[in-house]
Amino acid sequence: MEERVAVITGSGRGIGRAVAERYADAGVRVVIAEKDEAAGREAERDINARVGGRAAPGGPAPDGPAPDGPAPGPACFIRTDVSRPDDIDAMVAAAFERFGRIDVLVNNAGIGRSASPYDLTVDAWDEVIAVNLRGTFLCSRAVARVMRGRGGSIVNIASTRALMSEPNTEAYSASKGGIVALTHALAASLGHDGIRVNCISPGWICTGDYDALTDSDHSQHLSGRVGRPDDIARACLFLCDPANAFITGANLIVDGGMTRTMIYQE
Ligand SMILES: NC(=O)c1ccc[n+]([C@@H]2O[C@H](COP(=O)([O-])OP(=O)(O)OC[C@H]3O[C@@H](n4cnc5c(N)ncnc54)[C@H](O)[C@@H]3O)[C@@H](O)[C@H]2O)c1
């Protein structure tokens, strides 16, 4: 893994942050492509302090990565809103300028807007699709242009909501179903360039206080427990491992068996 570079969107907190941490633990340099400046800088500082052994001299660079010189640690925050095409192009250019290569992209940034389909506004629909689906496509294309020739691995974070639903989740569910389809389409288009594209559909992943979960929360899973961000991070590492190069176009469901559970209500 050493010398490899991974771009992880939405990695300031939650699942994305765990993915960035596990890649950094594996010796991969990570680009934290995050919209929330405070969360992104905190993730950069913590990962560099823990894994890099030292934080950036004088703290992180004021405007993203320093223009020259080696990264002060394995993590580099670049403020990025994946709903903005210009942000994506600038982030990929800055990451490539900084590290000279990109081997892995994890499209993790995602939002949800729960509303009745009778009330969901066009703006809310467009916002969810722009972040979750269009952002995943534009990041993939921008990074694939850099990976082309050398090859690489893209992992898109979908959801089991691509496969099953609760009420009032139309925009989110549609965006995640779109990601599953986009994944095999990109796998077909980019395979000749040595780029593998897979997605992970997480089930219930607790990004908050795991101790606050109830017995019922855990026991409704075949696995007997709710998921943790590290469950998804390990799946990312597995899919991106060059030893697993036979896997492309796949949708890996990581949900503790929730979508395999048949429920009859009495
Ligand atoms: N937590 C779960 O149970 C679960 C289940 C299935 C799928 N997912 C998916 O996993 C991914 C991460 O989920 P999470 O629970 O960690 O979410 P989260 O809300 O805890 O974290 C999401 C991160 O993405 C960032 N972000 C949001 N919009 C962005 C944008 N436009 N550009 C760049 N960054 C942006 C946020 O600032 C935040 O740091 C999402 O795609 C989500 O849909 C989560």
For this structure, is 172 an active site residue?
yes
Q: Tell me the mean pLDDT in the region 225-231.
A: 98
- Residue 53, pLDDT score: 54
Q: Tell me the mean pLDDT in the region 73-94.
A: 97
Query: How many angstroms separate the CA atoms of 199 and 250, rounded?
Result: 6
Confidence of residue 265 (pLDDT cuts 50, 70, 90): confident
Q: Tell me the mean pLDDT in the region 38-67.
A: 69
Q: Tell me the mean pLDDT in the region 147-166.
A: 97
**Nearest residue (CA) to ligand 1, atom 40:** 110
- Testing ligand 1's pocket by substitution, the residue of 8, 9, 11, 15 carrying the most ligand atoms inside 8 A of its CB is 15
Query: How many angstroms separate the CA atoms of 158 and 249, rounded?
Result: 13
- Residue 69, pLDDT score: 45
Mean pLDDT, the chain, as a whole number?
93
Lowest mean pLDDT among 1-15, 210-224, 227-241: 1-15
Percent of the chain with pLDDT over 70: 92
Ligand 1 center from residue 161 Cα (angstroms): 14
Please check the confidence at residue 82 and state whether its pLDDT lies above 60: yes
Query: For residues 149 and 154, which has the higher predicted lDDT (pLDDT)?
Result: 154
- Residue 13, pLDDT score: 98
Q: What share of the chain is helix, strand, coil (3-state, %, to 5)?
A: 45, 15, 40
Structural contact between residues 165 and 174, judged by C-beta atoms closer than 8 angstroms: no
* Beta bridge pairs of residue 201: 253
CA angle centred on 198, ends 167 and 96, rounded to 5°:
115
pLDDT tens column, 136-145: 999 999 999 9
- Residue 72, pLDDT score: 66
Three-state DSSP at 30 gives: strand
Please check the confidence at residue 59 and state whether its pLDDT lies above 70: no
| Fold exhibited by the domain 5-260 | Rossmann fold (3.40.50)
Query: How many angstroms separate the CA atoms of 42 and 47, rounded?
Result: 8
Please check the confidence at residue 47 and state whether its pLDDT lies above 50: yes
Please check the confidence at residue 60 and state whether its pLDDT lies above 50: no
Query: How many angstroms separate the CA atoms of 34 and 266, rounded?
Result: 45
* Binding-site residues, ligand 1, Cβ < 6 A: 9-10, 12-16, 34-36, 39, 80-83, 108-111, 131, 157, 159, 202, 204-205, 207
Please check the confidence at residue 70 and state whether its pLDDT lies above 90: no
Please check the confidence at residue 63 and state whether its pLDDT lies above 70: no
Q: Tell me the mean pLDDT in the region 75-82.
A: 98
- Residue 18, pLDDT score: 98
- Testing ligand 1's pocket by substitution, the residue of 8, 21, 35 carrying the most ligand atoms inside 8 A of its CB is 35
- Testing ligand 1's pocket by substitution, the residue of 19, 31, 44, 108 carrying the most ligand atoms inside 8 A of its CB is 108
pLDDT tens column, 209-221: 999 999 999 999 9
Look up tokens 């949900």; give the residue: 255
Please check the confidence at residue 1 and state whether its pLDDT lies above 80: no
Tokens of 10: 């939405």
Percent of the chain with pLDDT over 90: 88
pTM of the model: 0.94
Kindly give the number of the ligand 1 atom that is closest to the alpha carbon of 107. 41
Query: How many angstroms separate the CA atoms of 18 and 16, rounded?
Result: 5
Q: Tell me the mean pLDDT in the region 146-151.
A: 95
Ligand 1 center from residue 110 Cα (angstroms): 4
Query: How many angstroms separate the CA atoms of 200 and 161, rounded?
Result: 12
